[in-house]
Amino acid sequence: MITIKADFNHLDGRGRLVLSDLVIHDHTPFDAIAASGKRILFVQGEDIVFGKLVNDPDRGWCGEADWDTQDVLQEYPRPVLSKAS
């Protein structure tokens, strides 16, 4: 799985995350990531959403987010609280 930092408020008119014009992504190898076929998790602070990369001729690289997966992350094994002896 690949994680990519994003700004969830930086969207195009189609609801996609605009990535290519963010300074933090000056050296991100978007073509290699897109070609890898690995799952992508877009992250902003503690907010997450799964999606894929698309190269838009007008906007550059965008994250096509599956907004139904926002904040749905299941961790296994589940965290366990334990008392120190």
Give me the domain span that covers residue 32. Answer: 2-69
Q: Please give the angle made by the CA atoms of 62, 46 and 64, to the nearest 5 degrees.
A: 20
pLDDT beyond 90 at 79: no
| Position 16 in a domain | yes
Check: CB of residue 46 under 8 Å from CB of residue 23: no
* Predicted structure pTM score: 0.80
| Position 20 in a domain | yes
pLDDT in tens, 19-54: 988 888 889 999 999 999 898 999 998 889 999 999
Check: CB of residue 17 under 8 Å from CB of residue 30: no
Number of separate domains in the chain? 1
| Position 53 in a domain | yes
